[in-house]
């Protein structure tokens, strides 16, 4: 009689149990996804569940869809080379591989109506989905308030850092031009009026100071105003 074939013994678990993976918040997940496309994103300030991108066409003086729609993120970027705050709007496109990215630089380049209108190489409009008596009811108003705040912060921070850079460069130039030519100058003569802290400041200025960035010029102001005027005329 053949021997009985018993069932295989169940595998015994290891003594060392593996800890479950940490649960990530929605904000952490969103930030991870955004950084795959834009590594310079430092934080997310606001998320609109659904938005559609339009562009203003000069030929027809009309708004037209550009084939981009999806979740809209208002993000903080890493600081500029002179240390100014930077922010951007990012639309992750559900309909294709191309996303929409626009840095927010000034309140003058953004306006609000049925669309969020923004100016860069051309005039864009973002339509934000909202539905009364739902969680999205206040999204347009909330995102408008956030964009107004961040646009003002971006402009103020950039202008302050530019003034600091200009001041540092002017101070360094004044020190250089105050030194008589044609003879050796001692460190005491060069830095005597400023003391040790002044010397350190000037040395750091020469080594680390970045040249002042040119102030942004509103080269598309007329285009932007025409788009807004034409758009308002449609209303």
Domain assignment of residue 234, yes or no: no
Q: Are 111 and 72 in a shared domain?
A: yes
Q: Are 89 and 173 in a shared domain?
A: no
Domain assignment of residue 84, yes or no: yes
Sequence-ordered list of residues with C-beta below 8 angstroms from that of 94, at least 6 positions apart, any chain:
69, 70
What pTM, to 2 d.p., does this model score? 0.65
Nearest Cα to Cα of residue 62 among 123, 144, 119, 112: 123
Segment 36-58 shows an average pLDDT of 95
Residue 180's pLDDT band (cuts 50, 70, 90): low
pLDDT surpasses 80 at 107: yes
Domain extent, residue 198, equals: 162-208
Segment 125-150 shows an average pLDDT of 95
- Tell me which H or E stretch contains 187: helix 187-191
For the ranges 50-54, 88-92, 103-107, 186-190, the lowest mean pLDDT is seen at: 186-190
- Tell me which H or E stretch contains 65: strand 62-77
pLDDT surpasses 70 at 152: yes
Give pLDDT, residue 187: 44
In the chain, what percentage of residues exceed pLDDT 70? 64
Q: Judging by DSSP bridges, how do beta strands 62-77 and 100-104 pair with one another? A: unpaired
Segment 43-72 shows an average pLDDT of 95
How many structural domains comprise the chain?
2
Q: Are 68 and 151 in a shared domain?
A: yes
Could you tell me the CA-to-CA distances from 145 to 10, 33, 118, 141, 218 in Å, in that order?
61, 25, 15, 6, 23
Residue 192's pLDDT band (cuts 50, 70, 90): low
Residue 145's pLDDT band (cuts 50, 70, 90): very high
């Amino acid at each position: 009689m053949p021997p009985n074939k018993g069932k295989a013994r169940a595998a015994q678990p290891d003594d060392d149990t593996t800890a479950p993976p940490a649960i990530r918040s929605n904000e952490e997940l969103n930030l991870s996804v955004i950084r795959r496309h834009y590594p310079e994103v430092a934080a997310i300030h606001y998320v609109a569940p659904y938005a559609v991108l339009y562009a203003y066409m000069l030929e027809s003086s009309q708004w037209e869809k550009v084939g981009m729609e999806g979740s809209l993120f208002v993000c903080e970027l890493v600081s500029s080379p002179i240390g100014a705050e930077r922010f951007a709007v990012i639309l992750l496109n559900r309909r294709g591989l191309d996303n929409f990215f626009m840095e927010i630089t000034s309140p003058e380049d953004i306006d609000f109506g049925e669309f969020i209108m923004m100016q860069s190489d051309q005039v864009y409009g973002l339509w934000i989905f909202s539905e009364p008596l739902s969680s999205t009811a206040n999204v347009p108003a909330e995102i408008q308030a956030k964009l107004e705040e961040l646009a003002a912060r971006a402009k103020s921070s950039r202008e302050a850092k530019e003034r600091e850079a200009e001041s540092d460069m002017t101070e360094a130039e004044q020190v250089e031009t105050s030194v008589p030519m044609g003879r050796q100058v001692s460190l005491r003569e060069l830095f005597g009026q400023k003391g040790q802290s002044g010397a350190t400041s000037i040395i750091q200025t020469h080594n680390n100071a970045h040249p002042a960035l040119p102030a942004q010029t509103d080269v598309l102001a007329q285009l932007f105003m025409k788009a807004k005027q034409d758009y308002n005329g449609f209303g």
